[in-house]
Amino acid sequence: MDSYYMNDLDIPWRRAVVSVDQFSRADIDEIFGLAARLSVGRTMPLTGKSLVNLFYEPSTRTSSSFYAAMTRLGGSVIPINEVNYSSVTKGESLEDTIRTLECYADALVLRHYDEDATERAVSVASVPLINAGNGAGEHPTQALLDLYTISKERGHIDGLTITLMGDLKHGRTVHSLVKLLRMYDVKLNFVSPQELSLPSSYLMSGDSEYLDLDPVIEDTDILYVTRVQRERLADTMVIDFSYAVTRDDMDRAKENLVLMHPLPRVGEIPPELDSDPRAAYFRQMKYGLHVRMALLVSMIGRD
Ligand code: ASP
C-alpha cells in the first residue's frame, strides 16, 4: 500500500469513512446542510443506537466530540479511550477486537497508529466504521470539519488562498484537507521546513512551497497551522524550525483572515492571539461537533 494515499476505495462512505477520497462535492454539500440543520434542531434520531469509540492513540477533541455528538442525538457510547486497560495488552488482534466490539454497537469509531488499520478493521466489521486517524495517513472527519469551518467563516470555499503551515509530512489532518480542497478552486501554499514538507503525492502544479510564512501572509485567506508530530519522528531527528504565528503576522494579514489549527497546539499560536476575532480554532471544534452529528445520522440514522 502507498504509505500516504488510500485511493480507489470502493466502499460507500455511509458504510465506512476511511478516506476523504470517498466524498464528492454533492456528498459534502449534503453533510454540511445536515450539520447546519442539526446544530439548531433538538431531534434525537439516534435514540436506542450505540457507538463504540476505540482509540489506540491519545485523543481529546475527536473522542469527546463523537461522544457528545452521539449522546446529543439520543444515542449512547462505549468509550475505549485507553486500550492499555483492554485485552489489547493481552495480545488481542485488531480484527478480534473489532469483531467483539461490534456485537455491542451500531457503529465504531477507530483511531490507530498504523496506516493500514482502518482498512483491516473495515474488512472484518459488519457495522459502519469511521476512521478517526490512522497514523500519519488520514483524518477524514477532521478534514470535513475544517472545510465546514472555512465555508461557515468565509461563506464560500472557491477563490480562496489557503496556506498550510507546520508538519505537512506527518500531519494526517493536512493530508485529508489537501485532498478535499482539490475539489475546489483554491490556491494552496505550503510552509514547512524541508524535512517536514508535504509528500510529493499530494502536490499539484500551481501549488507553492515556502520555508517561511513571510512571503505569503499578506495574500492568505485561511491560515491552517499544525504542530510538529513528534510522536512520528525518528528519535534521532532534530527539527530546527520554530514557526509561531506572531502579532506582527496578524497585523500584516487580511482583516478577514481565518486562523485555524486542528489542536493540540504546542507553541505555534501563542494564547495572546486567542482574543483576535480571526482566531477560529475554538469555533472550529464547535463546527466539528455538528459535522460529526451529521455523519452519524447519515450512517446509522436510517434503518
Ligand atoms: N488532533 C489532530 C490529530 O489527531 C492533530 C494533531 O494531533 O496534531 O491528528
CA distance 155 to 148: 10
Nearest atom in ligand 1 to 173's CA: 9
| Residue positions annotated with a catalytic role | 61-62, 90, 111, 139
Whole-number pLDDT of residue 86: 78
Whole-number pLDDT of residue 3: 37
Whole-number pLDDT of residue 241: 63
Mutation pick for ligand 1 pocket among 53, 56, 57, 142 (CB with most ligand atoms within 8 Å): 142
Q: Is the pLDDT of residue 292 over 90?
A: yes
Q: Is the pLDDT of residue 131 over 80?
A: yes
List, for residues 7-16, the tens digit of each pLDDT value: 456 899 999 9
Q: What is the largest CA-CA distance in the chain?
A: 55
Mutation pick for ligand 1 pocket among 172, 232, 269 (CB with most ligand atoms within 8 Å): 172
C-alpha 257 – ligand 1 centre gap (Å): 22
For helices 140-154 and 172-181, the axis angle rounded to 10 degrees is: 60
Whole-number pLDDT of residue 235: 72
> Whole-model pTM?
0.94
Task: Give the other-Cβ count within 10 Å of 166's Cβ.
Answer: 26
Whole-number pLDDT of residue 6: 45
Nearest atom in ligand 1 to 172's CA: 9
Whole-number pLDDT of residue 240: 63
Whole-number pLDDT of residue 9: 65
Q: Is the pLDDT of residue 81 over 90?
A: no
Mutation pick for ligand 1 pocket among 263, 265, 269 (CB with most ligand atoms within 8 Å): 263
C-alpha 263 – ligand 1 centre gap (Å): 6
What's the whole-number average pLDDT of the chain? 93
More confident residue, 83 or 72: 72
Q: Which CATH number does the domain 3-139+288-300 belong to among 3.40.228.10, 3.40.50.1370, 3.40.50.880, 3.90.1170.40?
A: 3.40.50.1370
Q: Is the pLDDT of residue 198 over 80?
A: yes
pLDDT-based confidence at residue 67 (cuts at 50, 70, 90): very high
CA distance 264 to 225: 11
List, for residues 20-55, the tens digit of each pLDDT value: 999 999 999 999 999 999 999 888 999 999 999 999
List, for residues 147-182, the tens digit of each pLDDT value: 999 999 999 999 999 999 999 999 999 999 999 999
Whole-number pLDDT of residue 303: 55
Whole-number pLDDT of residue 8: 54
Q: What is the mean pLDDT of residues 131-145?
A: 97
Residues with CB under 6 A from ligand 1: 133, 139, 172-173, 226-227, 262
Q: Which fold has domain 140-285?
A: Rossmann fold (3.40.50)
pLDDT exceeding 90 applies to what percent of the chain? 85
Q: Provide the grid cell at 205.
A: 502544479
Q: What is the mean pLDDT of residues 95-105?
A: 96
Per the listing, cell 499530494 goes with: 202
Whole-number pLDDT of residue 233: 86
Whole-number pLDDT of residue 10: 83
Q: What is the mean pLDDT of residues 183-198?
A: 96
Residue 245 makes CB contacts below 8 A (sequence gap 6+) with 213, 223, 225, 259, 268, 269, 270, 273
> Residues spanned by CATH 3.40.50.1370 within the chain?
3-139+288-300, 140-285
